[in-house]
Amino acid sequence: MGLGGALLAAWLILVRLAQARAGGASDPAESGTLLLVGIGATVLLSTFVAWRRSTGLASDAHRAAVTVLAAFGALSVVFLLSFRLERMAGLTGLAVLAAVSAVVGIAGERWAARGNVERGT
């Protein structure tokens, strides 16, 4: 969850809107391609943010572990929650998930920045 999760949830909303706009003529391959692009962007964003924010860790191995967990966490949390929220509340549920993920991501960024300032890194 965090900024990557917010990106993926927002991307899912865009895919659903594109499907609704196309009506019954939506090509499943096109929707699949759009989803893969969103997943790729989520992994890249999560990895970039986690790598940048973990500069204070002692070794690159620790930083790599943090980045893998960030990408996996963003994908798994959003995938698990998005199906339920979309079934219960439609696009509004996905919008709430995107907003909550963004708030968590911003709070995590501030927490990490404060920790780096306190340590002097």
pLDDT per residue as tens digits for the range 31-76: 788 888 888 888 888 888 888 888 777 788 888 888 888 888 888 8
pTM to 2 decimal places: 0.77
Looking at residue 121, its pLDDT comes to 56
pLDDT-derived band at 25, boundaries 50, 70, 90: low
Cα-Cα-Cα-Cα torsion 30, 40, 46, 14, nearest 10 degrees, comes to -10
pLDDT-derived band at 118, boundaries 50, 70, 90: low
Residue 74's region, left for phi above 0, alpha for psi from -120 to 50, else beta, is alpha
Backbone angles phi, psi at 60, to 5 degrees: -70, -25
**pLDDT above 70 for 120:** no
pLDDT per residue as tens digits for the range 82-116: 888 888 998 999 999 999 989 988 888 788 777 66
pLDDT-derived band at 119, boundaries 50, 70, 90: low
CA distance 53 to 2: 13
